[in-house]
Amino acid sequence: MRRSVLVAVIAGAVLPVVGCGGPPLQFPLPDAELYVGPDQEPLKLTAEQRQQIWRILDAQFGTPDQPKVPDPIKEIPGFKTERLVEGGRAYRKLCMHCHGLDGDGDGPTAPFLNPRPRDYRPGVFKFTSTAVGAKPTWDDLHYTLVRGAPGTAMPSFRAYPEETLAALVDYVIYLSVRGQVERLLAATLTEFDELADEDIEDAITLVAGQWKAAPGAVVQPDSDKAPFTMESVKRGRELFLASDKGNCAACHGESGRGDGPSAEVDPNTGQPMRDYWGFRIRPTDLTTGLLRGGRRPIDIYRRIHTGVKGTPMPGQAGNLSSDEIWDLVNFVLYLPYQGAQARASE
């Protein structure tokens, strides 16, 4: 890295001009203070640095209605470049009003929603089948589109043709990859005051590699699912309450209503619970049955095993065996029925 400064892209390129047909659709410049994660100072960019990064991204990734990707990105499993134009059209019609033109989660309807729409640019997705630190698979994002996120404003897109869903998944990956490269370039530029060809290549290769590795990081249980019996539910409840095991009750409460002693304040920091994107967050009320990551047993298994990425909920793979996780799954599945009985008696 750091051997040659880009000339054609950074110094020689200019922003597109407005033609007779009106201004072309363009991605916005990077934020002047680019958010890179919780408890980290934002990357502060000058106007010139923002223009430099914009030009590079424009050269590498194109525009919203004429998207393109560098070769390493084309190797992401399931991803198809030829679907991006159609995916962009569908995204602007169905998703942009919440998730924003560049996937920043700040579309015109976003301020009115709780929880806020996902910001795709950091490449962090809450509900995946993959291990800690791994990107979602193509199938993970497709599954989210099909089921939606119950309890949020994110609907199911099950009624749309499969071709539309596939194109949307590709476009979300495109926006996420673009946003991750943007952050890597900004970090390099703020540290070294210039960008070399190798910096761009390295950023693209690194991000592509993370996404290509995702299918190999899918969490597969070490044992078969425990039958749904009251014996299994009882074992799961004991694990749910045990402070030296799952300790789920610390946040979710003894009854699973999301009202545990650590529900609002992080015991490690003394600060309000926040997610990766800086928004206040509360533990899920498990008695409602509204599980945003899906209600299939395997979905719940993976939430317990890995945690919920981008949130304070940790994974329990190091604390619980596969059989114990399955017992917890059965208890979580039982909680809505137990909760309904409790509410009926109130």
Q: What is the pLDDT of residue 23?
A: 74
Mean pLDDT of 248-270: 89
Q: What is the pLDDT of residue 346?
A: 55
Distance in angstroms (rounded) separating the CA atoms of residues 305 and 246: 10
Distance, in Å, from the CA atom of 26 to the CA atom of 163, rounded to the nearest integer, reads 25
Q: What is the mean pLDDT of residues 231-247?
A: 93
Mean pLDDT score, 58-71: 97
Alpha-carbon distance 35 to 279, whole Å? 13
Asked if 147 contacts 159 with a C-beta cutoff of 8 angstroms, the reply is: no
Q: Provide the pLDDT for residue 77.
A: 98
Q: How confident is the model at residue 338 (pLDDT cuts 50, 70, 90)?
A: confident
Q: What is the structure's pLDDT at 81?
A: 98
Q: 282 — alpha (psi -120 to 50), left (phi > 0) or beta?
A: beta
In the predicted structure, residue 65 carries a pLDDT above the cut 90: yes
> Residue 145: its pLDDT value, please?
98
Please write the tens of the pLDDT for every residue from 185-227: 999 999 998 999 999 999 999 999 999 999 999 999 999 999 9
Q: Which of 43-52, 116-125, 263-272 has the lowest average pLDDT? A: 263-272
Q: So what's the pLDDT on residue 174?
A: 98
For residues 1-27, give the mean pLDDT. 46
Tell me how far the alpha carbon of residue 182 is from its chain's centroid. 16
The pLDDT tens digits of the residues spanning 35-53 come to 888 888 999 999 999 999 9
Q: Specify the pLDDT at position 19.
A: 38
User: In 3-state terms, what secondary structure has residue 52?
Assistant: helix
Report the chain's mean pLDDT, rounded to a whole number.
90
Q: pLDDT (tens digit, 9 = 90+) per residue, 81-115?
A: 999 999 999 999 999 999 999 999 999 999 999 99
For 20, phi then psi, to 5°, come to -70, -20
Q: Which segments of the chain does DSSP mark as H helices, in order?
A: 47-61, 84-94, 96-99, 138-147, 162-192, 197-212, 230-241, 249-252, 297-306, 322-345
Does residue 329 register a pLDDT over 90? yes
Which pLDDT does position 344 carry in this prediction? 47
pLDDT class of 55 with cuts at 50, 70, 90: very high
Helices 162-192 and 197-212: crossing angle in degrees, nearest 10, is 140
Using an 8 Å Cβ cutoff, are 34 and 186 in contact? yes
The owner of tokens 């994107």 is: 277
User: CB neighbours of 227 closer than 8 A, spacing ≥ 6?
Assistant: none
Q: Is the pLDDT of residue 17 over 60?
A: no
**Predicted pLDDT at 21:** 53
pLDDT computed for residue 243 by the predictor = 86
pLDDT band at 270 (very low <50, low <70, confident <90, very high): confident
Could you give the maximum distance between any two Cα atoms of the chain, in Å? 73
